[in-house]
Structure formats: C-alpha cells, structure tokens
Amino acid sequence: MSTYLGAAGIGVNNLEASEAFYCDVFGMKRLQFLKLDDMDEIILGFPGAKGAAVVLMHYTDGSNPNYDNLPIKLAFYVDDIASSLGAITTANCEIVREPKVYEAMGNVTIAFGKDPNGYLVEMIEKPKKSA
C-alpha cells in the first residue's frame, strides 16, 4: 500500500514557460532535468517536503501530442491566494474563478486559474488562525 503520491506528469508545449509558471506562481523549484530517448522532463517540487512533484514532459520523438486544454487539474495549498492569482495574471494566464470561501469545507478559500497549456490549477487557502 502506498503512503503518498510521488509525482504527477503533465505534457507541455514549452518546458521553460511551464517551469517559470509553476516556480513563479507556486514557489516550486527544479529538482531534476531528464533527457530521455523520447522526451525531456523537468521535475518540480518543494525541496525537503514529502508530497507530489510535478513532472513537466515534452515529447521529442516526433509524435506531436496535443498538450492544450486537456481535462487536467492540479491542486495547490497556498498561503496567499491573492498573491497566487496576481502571479497567474502576470504570467498572462487566465483566472477561471475568483476566490470563494467554502464553509462546508472548513472555511477554506478556493480559486481557479489556468497554466500556460490551459490546465486547471486550483488554489486552496486554509483560514487564518485567530490570535
């Protein structure tokens, strides 16, 4: 039985643009670059944190897969949704849903945007603790 998800891979048109997006918006860092026979990969994560990495995959085998607007969603816990939304706007990417508080989910605030390939990114901000 597994105890956590190691990574999720997504195909991207432009490795550098996607890496910049996830690093700038969510503070991820490049953990590794792989040049494989059929694709190049950049593995992004949060150094020292146990949890899923995002593997950016770009096929180099001439297969020309469709990377755009696929039904993919990545969910990120963030400290400041407004800052994340601002970074998405700065990256010239789309804001899909403005922040909304969900009482039924423990008063978390959730917003949605899109990455450079049109993949949905969900941002979840836990309520601030009262002093």
pLDDT digits (tens, 9 = 90+) for 80-120: 999 999 999 999 999 999 999 999 999 999 999 999 999 99
Across the chain, mean pLDDT equals: 92
**Which pLDDT score is estimated for 130?**
65
Give 22-58 pLDDT, tens digit per residue: 999 999 999 999 999 999 999 999 988 877 899 999 9
| Residues 65, 68: Cα–Cα separation, whole Å | 9
pLDDT class of 16 with cuts at 50, 70, 90: very high
Residue 125 has pLDDT above 70, yes or no: yes
CA dihedral 8, 10, 16, 18 (to 10 degrees): -90
Contacts of 6 (CB under 8 A, 6+ apart): 52, 53
